[in-house]
Amino acid sequence: MALDKHGIAKRIARELQEGYYVNLGIGIPTLVANYIPEGMNVVLQSENGLLGMGPFPTEDEVDPDMINAGKQTVTTLPGSAIFSSAESFGMIRGEHVQLTVLGAMEVSERGDIANWKIPGKMVKGMGGAMDLVASAKNIIVAMQHTSKDGQSKLLKDCSLPITGLRCVKKIVTDLAVLEVTEDGFKLLERAPGVTVEQIQAATAGKLTVQGEIPEINV
């Protein structure tokens, strides 16, 4: 059975390590915050200028001057810090953030990512995505393996305008966990009950499969 978005977020949460500073993008990546292992110290960075993003506020705590990069109301935590957008992207470009998790429309077998524009249809802008993918040491993409009309989103080359080149390290989809290698997408894990053949059929880019592929354990 394919993972739902919470399953994808849970699996990505297993990539977190003690002491990590992490930037979570909008959508499925935001859900990763719900699955940080108990007792692990992970600090969430929000690129509008907040380190140490806390949970959503209670009704009484709602403050229009406290939002995250998704424009949602949030809270601070003991030890939080607030700063300007220039400082925020300084710490991103300066590689002080250990892990970035973001969504994508397409990923190529070399790790190129497209997630900001559909020519003639959707032009919302790249926001901070280009800065994040150009600078982060470790980038994990959270997305569905195929588009709503069944087209593979893991391609030989991206067909949409690129957000960044050769930057994605790992991809967690509803069907599989894959690593981007010199030899294309390497299949690491498969969703419970999903076969290697099903993943192969849903992957348009080069897929390498070595030995037994374990099921994702979430």
Partner 1 sequence: MINKVVQDAASACADIPDGATLMLGGFGLCGIPENSIQEILRKGIKDLTCISNNAGVDDFGIGLLLQRRQVKKMISSYVGENAEFERQLLSGELEVELIPQGTLAERIRAGGAGIPAFFTPAGYGTEVGEGKESREFHGKMYLMETWLKADFALVKAWKGDTAGNLIYKGTARNFNPMMATAGKITIAEVEELVPVGELDPNMIHTPGIYVQRIFQGKDYEKRIEQRTTR
Residues labelled as active-site residues: 47
Q: Report the residue number, 116 or 185, with the smaller CB distance to partner 1.
A: 116
Q: How many residues bind partner 1 (CB under 8 A)?
A: 52
Contacts of 60 (CB under 8 A, 6+ apart): none
Minimum distance between the CB of residue 209 and partner 1, rounded to whole angstroms? 29
Residue 39 falls in which region: left (phi positive, over 0), alpha (psi -120 to 50) or beta: left
Closer to partner 1 by Cβ: residue 67 or 196: 67
If binding is defined by CB under 8 A, does position 34 make contact with partner 1? no
Rg (CA), the chain: 17
Stretch that binds partner 1, among 82-90, 170-178, 193-201, 205-213 (CB under 8 A): 82-90
CA atoms of 170 and 208, how far apart (whole Å): 14
Q: Is residue 103 within the footprint of partner 1 (CB under 8 A)?
A: no
Q: What is the pairing mode between strands 99-102 and 139-142?
A: parallel
58 part of the interface to partner 1, by CB under 8 A: yes
Distance CA 119, CA 142 (A): 23
94 binds partner 1, rule: CB under 8 A: no
What character string, x for contact with partner 1 (CB under 8 A) and - otherwise, covers 160-179?
-xxxxx--------------
- Report the alpha-carbon distance of residue 17 to residue 29 in Å, rounded: 16
Write out the H or E segment, with its range, that includes residue 131. helix 129-135
Give the DSSP letter string of 138-152. Answer: -EEEE--SB-TTS-B
82 binds partner 1 (CB under 8 A): yes
182 is a contact residue toward partner 1 (CB under 8 A): no
100 touching partner 1, by CB under 8 A? no
- Residue with structure tokens 């919470």? 6
Q: What are phi and psi of 154, to 5 degrees?
A: -110, 105
Q: How far apart are CA 183 and CA 210, in angstroms?
A: 12
136-165 residues near partner 1, rule: CB under 8 A = 161-165
At residue 89, what are phi and psi to the nearest 5 degrees?
-80, -20
Instruction: State the minimum distance, in angstroms, from the CB of residue 116 to partner 1.
Output: 8
Binding residue (CB under 8 A) for partner 1 from 64, 78, 150, 211: 64
Among 21, 72, 206, 218, binds partner 1 (CB under 8 A): 72
Q: Which residues bind partner 1 (CB under 8 A)?
A: 46-50, 55-59, 62-74, 82-86, 88-90, 92-93, 117, 120, 122-131, 134-135, 161-165
